[in-house]
């Protein structure tokens, strides 16, 4: 498809010499709008899926994407944003809520739109000036806007098992605030036979809502492994570990390397091993963002903003001067896929991470929820589209 489109672009350019102008969706650098994406890497499932859907959008909209890998510190992130601006991007999607005020300020000066692809404003540190900037697109709330739903699902899974000793591990509360809501909801939903192996760490109810009862580590595999050693030195009989950040990339390998092969897991995070681990009983449940829905939510706002010079606004979306806008009113939402069976994984592979033309959100469906293509589009319709569950997507696409 890409080679075919490149040939079309070449023909269009030749025709433009005669006609004077042209515009064609999917023509790479010749597209009208350019969007930069900032992520730590584009090699894991997250980066691969974001890039895959971006490629699909290039084929169906007058837009091109550029990808910049950034480090985990503020300076690296700022340098990545500078690279996008210098490359002529009209909008930038950041995977993180890093240095938001500075990023919005830079984008405002450059006339570039800025949005949070994998984070939301309700759980981020952001000034009122940045939040109300014409160039700030808002973020995307995971878990369809309510992380407690996933926690309740995990509690149901655990209550149906014989296992009673449960421990949790994640990134620090400040780095994954939704993890606190997931965990607290799960704990509240467990029956009286379940016992939490309490980490006995300081509670941080404000602003994180962390009760002090799960372990956390600082982002590296070595730190995760050290925390796993600590957990099992304090509670040798742990039966289930809930790995919230990130279960498959960090926690499961740490359990394996430290000899805990019989311990069961609930995981936030996905790799190609999920299906096999669900089949052999290692995993009781696993989940992952629907990255297509994250992209679709932010892309709709970005494209409309670029096409309207920032004036496009859904009539039913909370206005910037409304008090409720400060409490997440600028955010879209995307579903978080929970898988508890191998069939769920097969459906996920087929209809979420598979062919995007037969995936969660087709280009035609997205256009119906964008003001650039449908003046009657609503924020409610866009949100409903970007929060479809795996079962809803499977039902639609498997007909």
pLDDT of residue 29: 57
pLDDT of residue 138: 94
Q: What digits encode the pLDDT tens for the residues 195-247?
A: 999 999 999 988 788 999 999 998 889 999 999 999 999 999 999 999 998 88
pLDDT of residue 326: 78
367 or 11: which carries more pLDDT confidence?
367
Q: How far apart are CA 214 and CA 227, in angstroms?
A: 11
Q: How far apart are CA 155 and CA 186, in angstroms?
A: 5
Is 111 a residue whose pLDDT tops 70? yes
Is 26 a residue whose pLDDT tops 70? no
pLDDT of residue 176: 86
Is 19 a residue whose pLDDT tops 60? no
Q: What digits encode the pLDDT tens for the residues 374-398?
A: 999 999 999 999 999 999 999 999 9
For tokens 């670029």, the residue is 306
* Percent of the chain whose predicted confidence (pLDDT) is above 70: 93
Angle formed by the axes of helices 100-110 and 74-86, nearest 10°? 20
Q: What digits encode the pLDDT tens for the residues 298-314?
A: 999 999 999 999 999 99
3-state secondary structure the chain: CHHHHHHHHHHHHHHHHHHCCCCCCCCHHHCCEEEEEEECCCCCHHHHHHHHHHHHHHHHCCEEEEEEECCCCHHHHHHHHHHHHHCCCCEEEECCCCCHHHHHHHHHHHCCEEEECCCCHHHCCCCHHHHCCCCEEECEECHHHCCHHHHHHHHHHHHCCCCCEEEEEECCCCCCHHHHHHHHHHHHHCCCCCEECCCCCCCECCCCCECCCCEECCCCHHHHHHHHHHHHHHCCCCCEEEECCCHHHHHHHHHHHCCCCCCEEEEECCCCCHHHHHHHCCEEEEEEECHHHHHHHHHHHHHHHHHHCCCCCCCCCCCCCCHHHHHCCCCEECCEEEECCHHHHHHHHHHCCCCHHHCCCCHHHHHHCCCCCCCCCCHHHHHHHHCCCHHHHHHHHCC
Is 9 a residue whose pLDDT tops 50? no
For residue 51, what are its two tokens? 């890039």
Q: What digits encode the pLDDT tens for the residues 158-186?
A: 999 999 999 999 999 888 888 999 999 99
pLDDT of residue 246: 84
pLDDT of residue 294: 97
How large is the average pLDDT for residues 254-274?
Answer: 94
Query: 352 exposed, middle or buried (CB, 10 Å; 0-12, 13-18, 19+)?
Result: buried
CA-nearest of 319, 328, 316, 297 to 121 is 328
Q: What digits encode the pLDDT tens for the residues 322-377?
A: 888 877 788 999 999 999 999 999 999 999 999 999 999 999 999 999 999 999 99
pLDDT of residue 17: 33
pTM of the model: 0.87
Instruction: Please check whether residue 330 is in contact with residue 121, taking contact to mean a CB–CB distance below 8 angstroms.
Output: yes
What are the structural domains, with CATH classification, of the chain?
31-138+291-335 (3.40.50.2300), 145-289 (3.40.50.2300)
pLDDT of residue 322: 85
Q: How far apart are CA 274 and CA 106, in angstroms?
A: 40
How large is the average pLDDT for residues 250-258?
Answer: 95
Query: What is the phi/psi pair of residue 355, to 5°?
Result: -55, 120
CB atoms within 10 A of CB 72: 12
Instruction: Please check whether residue 123 is in contact with residue 100, taking contact to mean a CB–CB distance below 8 angstroms.
Output: no
Q: How far apart are CA 367 and CA 101, in angstroms?
A: 31
Is 8 a residue whose pLDDT tops 50? no
Q: How far apart are CA 372 and CA 309, in angstroms?
A: 12
Angle at 313 between CA 309 and CA 318, to 5 degrees: 140
Beta strand 336-339 with 283-289: parallel, antiparallel or unpaired?
Answer: antiparallel
Residues, the chain: 399
Angle at 161 between CA 158 and CA 167, to 5 degrees: 45
Mean pLDDT of the chain: 90
pLDDT of residue 7: 34
């Amino acid at each position: 498809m890409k080679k075919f489109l490149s040939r079309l672009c070449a023909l269009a350019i030749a025709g433009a010499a005669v006609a004077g102008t042209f515009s064609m969706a999917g023509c790479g650098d010749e597209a009208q709008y350019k969007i930069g994406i900032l992520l730590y890497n584009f090699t894991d499932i997250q980066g691969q899926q974001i890039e895959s859907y971006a490629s699909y959008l290039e084929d169906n909209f007058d837009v091109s994407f550029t990808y910049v890998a950034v480090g985990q510190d503020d300076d690296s992130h700022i340098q990545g944003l500078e690279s996008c601006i210098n490359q002529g991007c009209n909008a930038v999607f950041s995977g993180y809520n890093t240095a938001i005020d500075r990023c919005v300020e830079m984008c405002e000066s450059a006339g570039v739109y800025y949005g949070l692809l994998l984070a939301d404003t309700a759980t981020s540190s952001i000034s009122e000036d940045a939040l109300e900037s014409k160039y700030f697109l808002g973020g995307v709330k995971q878990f369809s806007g309510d992380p407690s739903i996933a926690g309740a699902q995990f509690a149901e899974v655990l209550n149906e098992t014989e296992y009673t000793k449960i421990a949790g591990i994640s990134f620090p509360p400040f780095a994954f605030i939704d993890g606190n809501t997931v965990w607290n909801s799960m704990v509240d939903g467990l029956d009286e036979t379940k016992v939490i192996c309490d980490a006995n760490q300081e509670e941080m109810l404000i602003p994180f809502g962390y009760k002090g009862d799960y372990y956390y580590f600082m982002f590296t595999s070595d730190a995760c492994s050290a925390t796993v050693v600590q957990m099992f030195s304090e509670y040798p009989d742990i039966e289930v570990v809930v790995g919230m950040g990130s279960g498959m990339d960090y926690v499961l390998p740490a359990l394996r390397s430290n000899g805990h092969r019989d311990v069961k897991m609930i995981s936030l995070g996905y790799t190609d091993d999920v299906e096999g681990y669900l089949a052999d009983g290692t995993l009781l449940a696993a989940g992952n963002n629907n990255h297509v829905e994250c992209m679709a939510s932010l892309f709709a706002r970005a494209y409309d903003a670029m096409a309207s010079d920032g004036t496009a606004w859904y009539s039913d979306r909370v206005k910037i001067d409304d008090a409720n806008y400060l409490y997440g009113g600028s955010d879209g939402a995307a579903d978080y896929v929970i898988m508890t069976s191998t069939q769920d994984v097969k459906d996920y592979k087929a209809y979420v991470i598979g062919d995007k033309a037969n995936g969660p959100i087709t280009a035609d469906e997205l256009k119906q929820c964008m003001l650039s293509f449908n003046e009657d589009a609503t924020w409610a319709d866009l949100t409903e589209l970007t929060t479809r569950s795996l079962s809803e997507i499977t039902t639609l696409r498997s007909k």
